[in-house]
Structure 1
């Protein structure tokens, strides 16, 4: 039984509605581009920015949104980034989040490791109404997943070794791949039924949602 279960937040516990929100913000501009391509570009730019020198997550979202729109020939307005940043704290949990975490919390300490800033994620945590032992953010670590420093920071902050925890995440590139390199035990919450990669990044356990975690842990 792990002492700590660490969770990615957005996409794992919180319904990460960034594509839906982005399309709403674009409005009529969405008709001017290949929308699927734009969302892929925006996703890739965000990932790239996580490897750049640290900036607050709100600034990372604004920067990434503008760069994606520039690449796709759309006009960016400062209000676009403001609306996107304002939307993130309003997103709520998946239906399985609270019941599963309330159960797990009776046996293990629950921790979030998130590419977020403190003020922003505080609202998402409130939306979950779950008793977390700690919430570790990129703002505290001054680094983003998938880079190793935030994972090392989490170990130092918790005062534990990698053997003391189980990492649970939806993000394959952001979480599963780097945590593999660090030797962390992992569970992939594959809500979107995407192809994994056990050959290069296994072994890990794959579940389609959180409900299988108590069974996996025998609790």
Structure 2
């Protein structure tokens, strides 16, 4: 496999590097009220509504979660309690990295600057980046960009801050819908799909697949 050294390696954070437990958190809150089959449907709908919520004008991520929970409860026919959504939100700072994340990042960080582009908040992302086990050049959030991924505006903000173009970057994500479809459309230099099992493969979007962050150093000759 040929290797290429980008100016920056950029990452989605939650799901790709951090174990994104939004679904499990919802299960912890609602499982006593739903059958297993209903719970699976609830989690899937909650995920879909979160995506829908980030496609419009920017709002705080807490509101994204609250609105998605409320809409999911309405769809499933039971009353929304804001305290339930808050229980999910309060868990986010405690989520830790996937086991493969720290070692893989640490090896690459010695040679290439690492950057996070996250659908997060400026007061939340430091809690997560501090757990990644490697130094990061920068961590940019939707709050700063005033746009969530998959909107191009979020990526454009990152490129402006880094002083580079899409062609200079290798972008890594476990999600096509939030990252890799847009990365393809923006002609980002190299796209890397970290196959965490969230979504099925989609070769149309022209990426290199790795099973975890341990496979990243080999893509840049390390």
TM-score range, shorter chain: over 0.9
What is residue 82 of structure 1 aligned with on the other side?
A: 86
Structure 1 residue 205 corresponds to structure 2 residue 208 = yes
Task: Mark the runs of 5 or more structure 1 residues left unpaired by the alignment.
Answer: none
Match in the other structure for 1:38? 42
> Relative to structure 2, which stretch is displaced further, 111-120 or 26-35?
26-35
Q: Is 1:192 the counterpart of 2:176 in the alignment?
A: no
Q: What residue is the counterpart of 2:151 in the other structure?
A: 147
Cα distance in 1, alignment partners of residues 62 and 124 from structure 2? 8
Alpha-carbon RMSD? 1.4
Change in Cα spacing, 1:32 to 1:77, as seen in structure 2 (3 Å) is farther
Distance 1:55 1:14, change over 3 A: same
Offset from partner CA, 1:156-191 (integer Å, 9 cap, x none): 011111122100000111001011000012000011
Is the 2:176–2:199 contact (alpha carbons within 8 Å) kept by the matching residues of 1? no
1:59 paired with 2:59, answer no
Give the aligned length.
217
- Deviation of 1:122 after TM superposition, in Å, equals 1.5
Distance 1:213 1:42 in 2: 31
Note if 1:215 corresponds to 2:201: no
* Structure 2 unpaired stretches of 5+: none
Q: Give 1:1-219 correspondences, 5 Å limit.
A: 1-31=5-35, 34-184=38-188, 185-192=190-197, 194-199=199-204, 201-202=205-206, 204-219=207-222
